[in-house]
Amino acid sequence: MPKQLHRRDFLKLLGASILGTSALSSCKPQQKHSLALPEISRNKPNILFCISDDQSWAHTSIGGDPVIKTPHFDRVAKEGVLFSNSFTGCPSCSPSRASVLTGQDFWRLEEGGLLFGRLKKKFPIYTKLLENAGYVTGMTGKGYIPANQSFDYTWKEPFGKSWDKLTDFKPPKGVANVDYATGFNNFMDARDKTKPFCFWFGCWEPHRAYGYGNGARSGMSPDEAKVPEFLPDVDVVRNDVCDYLFEIQWFDQHVGRMLKTLEEHGELDNTIIVVTSDNGMPFPRAKATAYHYGVHMPLAIRWGNGIDKPGRVVDDYVNHIDFAPTFLEAARVDLPEGITGKSLMNLFKSGESGQVDKSRSMVVTGLERHVWARPEGKTYPRRVIHTKEFTYIRNYEPDRWPMGGPDFEASHQGTFGDIDAGATKSYMMEHQNDEDMKELFAMSFGKLPAEELYAIDKDPDQMMNLADDPKYAKVKARLIKQMEDYQKKTGDPRVFGKSPWDDYPFYDKDKYLRGKYLEEVLEQRKSL
């Protein structure tokens, strides 16, 4: 199935219909027949993991965005915990998802640390450990992709069987025709009700492509949209932001329907409901970058039976690698060796708001290779430490192009291939020589210094690099030590001067770069 899944991802990028009839026929629910409902075990909680595709933390109502409406994310937060400092370890689809599955920093996962990589079975994943402990698993939407799952030694369908159900209407342009919530409902009806369940809702939205004007047509006012400082404040960008927000609302509506299904099945309070994303917004200086708009994630968790004093905001620094140990602890399953995440259970039980656990004062994130955007598939290695006051970034190969080369065509993403193609990217490229665009263009598309330092509390959009300012020399030295101590403790090859990622294969490289695939992309691009 991996090729089919990759195909789906590719078509989603093009805003086209993403599922074929073969997928439909493989998704019929397995009916369970029993005369009487067996007694439901309440000893172990269910897990509903809702993850959007490319959403930055700022874009929820409760997070303060002036335009978006996310009542269901907000409900989960108000009836659970809103995490104000939640990060993905790697702002790229499959490595982010691999770190969720394994509870390990992406640099520990060999090829699993790359987009279009593979996750070997030698890295235990929480879904299979829960299956072994009696859980029923299932999923809908986007799972662990893009990745090669075709080898005996790689995980296949790591989230379990897909319950994808096609929509019975034509969705707005750019939105996948998968009725996620009905798929979940079918799963809930058909599951073995004597067992706890673990379900993955991987929304295809708000990944590009977008239907231009979807946001405005739905009633959003582009004039009221909040444009980050690093993007040009022009109509086309305001519309692009609204189109992105529109797709987050699509995700939120499905979350709402799934909450209703849980209520109808009497499982709401016995389910750990997580709502988050895999990486930040698909705009310049966001997704696939070291900055906050790339790695700082929305996160709300509701667990009626397991969170003390719901309605709290917790400011501790948490990481996607913390989910797997949390779920395993909640299910009373022993943690396998190798997990570098820390269970969130003490934060659930504390009943406290603000900074709860003093040891959670920072996270370390990074990225090696996103798409094939540089000759020979060179990576753009970076590691980043995020604290309450500062972000420090180490770019290990400053002579390379951070977002892909200006002369290197990365298939459907064009040049600068690590920035997703779309209205904002096109606008900035077309206007790159305008006087008022030059600086913003250089920040998002140009080469970067070896070190960057931002005072995040004063400069939340990370516009002013303080790395060479002597006033911050001591702060920088402290941050470097903290970051490198963590890298050493968790075995990051990069801190030891090694770079195994350069030699790892890029699954489907040939299709990605040329031939029929490229022709097909170009043809379909014309029709968008």
* Contact set with Ca ion (CB under 5 A): 53-54, 93, 278-279
Question: What is the Cα–Cα distance from 178 to 370, expressed in whole angstroms?
Answer: 26
Q: Are 37 and 267 in contact (CB under 8 A)?
A: no
Q: Which is nearer to Ca ion, 196 or 294 (CB)?
A: 294
CB of 281 to Ca ion, least distance (A): 10
Q: How far is the CB of 235 from Ca ion (least distance, A)?
A: 26
Min CB(380)–Ca ion separation in Å: 17
Q: Assess contact for 285 and 227: CB atoms under 8 A.
A: no
Three-class SS of residue 491? coil
User: Contact, 48 vs 254, CB < 8 A?
Assistant: no
Residue closer to Ca ion, measured from CB, 294 or 310:
294
**Beta carbon nearer to Ca ion, 303 or 512:** 512
- Alpha-carbon distances, residue 375 vs 92, 176, 301, 382 (angstroms): 20, 32, 42, 18
Find out whether 311 and 451 touch, Cβ atoms under 8 Å: no
Closest contact distance (angstroms) between CB of 399 and Ca ion is 28
Q: To the nearest whole angstrom, how small is the minimum distance from the Cβ of residue 93 to Ca ion? A: 4
Distances 76 to 5, 52, 82, 263 between C-alpha atoms, Å: 30, 15, 8, 13
Q: Quick one: 54 or 79, whose CB is closer to Ca ion?
A: 54
In this chain, which residue has its C-beta nearest to Ca ion? Answer: 93
Q: Which residues on neighbouring strands pair with residue 305, listed in sequence order?
A: none
The nearest distance, CB 54 to Ca ion, in angstroms, is 4
Q: Which amino acid belongs to residue 198?
A: C
Considering only CA atoms, which of 66, 46, 50, 45 is closest in space to residue 256?
A: 50
Rounded to a whole number of angstroms, the minimum distance from the CB of residue 2 to Ca ion is 17
Residue nearer to Ca ion on the CB measure, 54 or 240: 54
Cβ at position 298, least distance to Ca ion in Å: 13
Which one, 298 or 310, has the nearer CB to Ca ion? 298
Least distance from Ca ion to the Cβ atom of residue 444, Å? 18
Rg (CA), the chain: 22
Least distance to Ca ion, CB of residue 289, Å: 13
95 or 325: CB nearest Ca ion: 95
Bridging pattern class, strands 296-297 and 271-277: unpaired
Q: Specify the residue, 279 or 444, whose C-beta has the smaller distance to Ca ion.
A: 279
By C-beta, is 380 or 486 nearer to Ca ion? 380
Residue 7 corresponds to which tokens in the numbers above? 């195909």
| Pick 164 or 278: Cβ nearer Ca ion | 278
Query: Shortest gap between Cβ of 94 and Ca ion (angstroms)?
Result: 9
SS (H, E, C) 39-100: CCCCCCCEEEEEEECCCCCCCCCCCCCCCCCCHHHHHHHHCCEEEEEEECCCCCHHHHHHHH
Of the pair 53, 247, the CB lying nearest Ca ion is at 53
Least distance to Ca ion, CB of residue 507, Å = 16
Dist. CA 512–CA 115, nearest whole Å: 12
Q: Dig out the tokens for 383 from the structure.
A: 């590691």
Closest CA to 238 of 222, 214, 216: 222
d(CA 216, CA 448): 35
Q: What are phi and psi of 48, to 5 degrees?
A: -120, 110
* Separation in Å, CA 219 to CA 170, 213, 237, 245: 19, 10, 17, 12
What are the start-end ranges of the E strands in 88-225?
136-141, 197-202
Picking from 519, 75, 170, 109, the residue whose alpha carbon sits closest to that of residue 341 is 109
Q: How far apart are CA 75 and CA 82, in angstroms?
A: 10
Which residue number, 75 or 425, has a Cβ lying nearer to Ca ion? Answer: 425
